[in-house]
Structure 1
Amino acid sequence: MGWDDFHRRNRAIDAVLDYAHRTGQTSLPFEEVPEVTTIFEHRKDLLLALQAKWSRTLAGYLEYELFDDEENSGMNSKYLAELEIYPVRLLLFDPSLSVVRRFPTS
């Protein structure tokens, strides 16, 4: 995959997240976002790309937290803004989840 494909896929993923956020849809929008079906052959491919993007974003945030210093203080708002749409991503992966999920202690 070249850079053009990478950027096209990311724009499609962003369109899916935006659509789900605007409509409150908890199932994975596939046919509802026209450009997505031309980029991803199957719903599973979109889901895997969404998971990969989520993992990269979360890894960047964790790395930032590990190496937090005054030089990088402006980056915090970018990662926090990205994390604000995580509830939408969680609901797309599993609609039975509430936005705030409590994990069992046992």
Structure 2
Amino acid sequence: MLDNIITNCIRYTPDRGEIAWNTVIDHNEVIFEIHDTGPGFTLSNKEQLFKKFYREDTSRTSGHGNLGLGLYIAHSTVKNHGGSITADNKETGGALFKIVFPVGKK
């Protein structure tokens, strides 16, 4: 799941751009925030990002190894572990992923 998100960040961040990964433990949660300085997401497509076979960049075909499954699998993995995942654009530009996992006993 994290590999897919980081790979997407690398793919879309321009030369000399930056990718940051912050991990915070807050009460009974572990929070991962990953953001980049790439173009971010098309706001009208933001709700589609975690759907199976969805590709924001329609010019990318499955011939390049991009089937539109990566974020779907990441979303499914997070949900199966009781967590949540969101994707948004940073105010300063670029994509922002936030993943929250509960920790401790239920």
Same fold judged by TM-score > 0.5? no
Normalised TM-score (structure 1): 0.31
Greater helix share, structure number: 1
Which of structures 1 and 2 has the bigger CA Rg? 1
TM-score, length-normalised on structure 2? 0.31
